[in-house]
Each structure stands twice: as C-alpha cells, then as structure tokens.
Amino acid sequence: MKMELQSRYRTLRDIPQVDYLEPGGSLCSGCGGVLALRLFHKVLGKNVVWVNAAGCMTIIVNYPLVPLKSSWLYTAFASAPAGAQGIRDALDILIRKGKIPETENLKVVVVTGDGGAYDIGLQSTSGAIYRNLDFYYLCYDNQAYGNTGFQVSSATPVGSATATTPPFPSEPSGNSLRRKDLFEIWRAHKPPYIATLSSSYAVDFLKKVEKGSTFKGPKMYIVLAGCPTGWGYDPRETIREEKLAVDTGIWPLKEAVEGEVRHTFTPRALKPIEDYLVTQARYHHLFFPKKREDIIDSIQKEVNRYWEEASKREGFDIKLVQV
C-alpha cells in the first residue's frame, strides 16, 4: 500500500472554525451548494479567486453585498474554466515578469452547477483539463437546472421529476435518461486529481480538497448538492439527504489519483434506494398514486451493478440490496 499523506483532517473536530463565507447570503436555506463552497473554502484558505458560471451561486455576490472574504468573478454560463485560464495565466506572467510579488498569488477555483459542468460548459471544462490548467474545479451537482426552477439537465437521475420532465402516463419515470458519468468523462482527460464529495462526509470531503491541493494541474471535484426547493424536502434535512445518497450507494465517494480510481468510503451493506427516493418530492410519482416497483427496481439494479463492478475491481466486500 502506498503511503498516504498525513492529513490535518481526521475527525469532525478538525474542521477549521474559520469561515471565508459569511452567513446571511441570498441563497435558499438548506442549500447544499453553499455548504459545499463553505467547506471547500476552509481548506483552501482566503487567497482564492472564485470563477463562477451562471447558476445558483451567481447570486452570492449580489451588488453591493459580498459575503466572501476572497475574490470573485462571474463569467458566463459556458466559460468559467476559460475565465480561470485567463486569471491563472495573467498571474503567472506578471509574477514571472516581476510585475507583482509571489505573495499576491491566488488559487483559482471554478464554481459551477451541473448545467455548467455537464452541459453548456463541458467543452470549456474539457479544454481547461486538456491544457493542464493549474486550478480547482468545484461542481455543485443538484442534478438539474436549479436556479431557473429545476429543469432537467444531463446530471438528472432516472426517475426524477423536473419542471421539463413532468411524470405522465406516457413518461412514468419523469426523467428517463441516464445521467452522464462526468467523473469518467473527466478521467478520460487524465487530470492528476478527481474526487466526488458529500458534505455529509465532511472529513472525507476536507481530506480530498487537501489532497488535491498537492497536485499541479486540474483538481476536479463534484459534490452532491442537496436542493430543498428542487428535490422537495425540508431545508433542515440537507445533510440527512446527502448522507442517505451515500449510504444507499447512489452517490459513491471516490477519487482518481493520476487516473487510478479508489472508493474512499464503502458501505458494508447498501441501504435500499427506496429509503432515499421516498424522502423527496421529485420521486413522489414513483410511490403515488401507486408504487412503481418496476422503476424503483431498475434504479436499484443500476446501483447494484455499479457496486458489483467497483467491489470486484477494487477487492472490497459489499452487501447489495436484493431486487
């Protein structure tokens, strides 16, 4: 076994008290995206410039109120990674030419939703990874176009109702298309570090941000971002929802170091996916007026298949849910 970096983060007590995102922002209560941004920031420290793509986070900086202690640039929907490229390159050149001291350097971090990451900004993301841009990339994945009222994106899971995939007898699943596997799309570009995150596993989260920062090049993160308004649950339940997603196995926690995949948390036994689906209004049509065992089973089978393959590949034991 390879020697692991000695992490500063071993228990929840190690979560830094310092906050670079102040309370009182203009986003929804219980927003999983904001929570992820806050945790991410704790590891990176204050010398950060966030480069934002259009989405929920865009209204964090709502003139003249700025809850961040770091810098911010809103770019456009499709091209936040290109915005990161310009800032990174400019700082590098100015430091090399001696026009600014190294102490003025910043960590450049893209923050985008899943619409920006999976759909409209996929090309510019691909370009930035290809160019081996030295930056961080945080996709808060709430699995739909949340800011515009929860329309389907290519991150929306099968079975989810969205504003543009309402369930009808002709389309009983709501959304029937499978999510893109963004982790694997990124991995095909061979960046040095990729990880999935869940704020509900905060130590795992912080460790991965810390670990990523030891690499030069693209450090890519997808965090499951509970969305009370879009998913339809009480805002106080965000952490519980995000944890259920991990414990049912529908949101695997993993990383890829130089392309090599390893799951960082493997449940001994998966909880039934139904336990997760039933808590959210976006899956309501799978239970009422009558329970759609067929659709729920197909989702469970997909989860089982994923873990069966992963456990064989990495050699760990896991108890699947019988269908």
Q: Which DSSP symbol is given to 78?
A: S
Alpha carbon distance 239, 245 (integer Å): 10
How many residues sit in the footprint of another protein (CB under 8 A)?
A: 50
By C-beta, is 7 or 47 nearer to another protein?
47
With contacts defined by CB under 8 A, name the span among 101-109, 190-198, 252-260, 292-300 that binds another protein: 101-109
Q: State in angstroms the smallest separation of the CB of 229 from another protein.
A: 18
With CA atoms as reference, report the closest residue to 76 among 59, 56, 55, 50: 55
Alpha carbon distance 105, 102 (integer Å): 5
CA distances from 56 to 42, 134, 171, 180 (A): 20, 25, 28, 21
Q: State in angstroms the smallest separation of the CB of 123 from another protein.
A: 6
By C-beta, is 90 or 163 nearer to another protein?
90
- Which residues contact residue 213 at a Cβ distance below 8 angstroms, ignoring those fewer than 6 apart? 43, 44, 107, 136, 219
With contacts defined by CB under 8 A, name the span among 36-44, 81-89, 110-118, 297-305 that binds another protein: 81-89
- Sole binder of another protein in the list 47, 234, 259, 291 (CB under 8 A): 47
With CA atoms as reference, report the closest residue to 269 among 323, 322, 318: 318
- Which residues contact residue 278 at a Cβ distance below 8 angstroms, ignoring those fewer than 6 apart? 287
By C-beta, is 51 or 250 nearer to another protein?
51
Contact 204, 263 (CB under 8 A): no
Scan residues 164-183 and list those touching another protein (CB under 8 A). none
Alpha carbon distance 68, 176 (integer Å): 39
Buried b / exposed e along 122-160 (16+ C-beta atoms within 10 A):
bebbebbbeeebbbbbbbbbbbbbbbeebbbbbbbbebb
Interaction between residue 105 and another protein (CB under 8 A): yes
Q: State in angstroms the smallest separation of the CB of 300 from another protein.
A: 39
Contact 264, 212 (CB under 8 A): no
Interaction between residue 92 and another protein (CB under 8 A): yes
Interaction between residue 89 and another protein (CB under 8 A): yes
By C-beta, is 20 or 231 nearer to another protein?
20
Interaction between residue 68 and another protein (CB under 8 A): yes
- Sole binder of another protein in the list 7, 62, 148, 214 (CB under 8 A): 62
Interaction between residue 91 and another protein (CB under 8 A): yes
- Sole binder of another protein in the list 36, 39, 78, 182 (CB under 8 A): 78
With contacts defined by CB under 8 A, name the span among 31-39, 57-65, 212-220, 225-233 that binds another protein: 57-65
- Sole binder of another protein in the list 81, 192, 218, 226 (CB under 8 A): 81
Interaction between residue 124 and another protein (CB under 8 A): yes
By C-beta, is 55 or 252 nearer to another protein?
55
Q: State in angstroms the smallest separation of the CB of 108 from another protein.
A: 9
Q: Which DSSP symbol is given to 161?
A: -
With CA atoms as reference, report the closest residue to 139 among 64, 61, 51, 67: 51
Interaction between residue 46 and another protein (CB under 8 A): yes
Interaction between residue 74 and another protein (CB under 8 A): yes
Contact 267, 247 (CB under 8 A): yes
By the criterion CB under 8 A, which residues form the site for another protein? 46-47, 49, 51-52, 58-59, 61-64, 66, 68-76, 78-87, 89-94, 97, 99-100, 103-106, 123-124, 126-127, 130-131
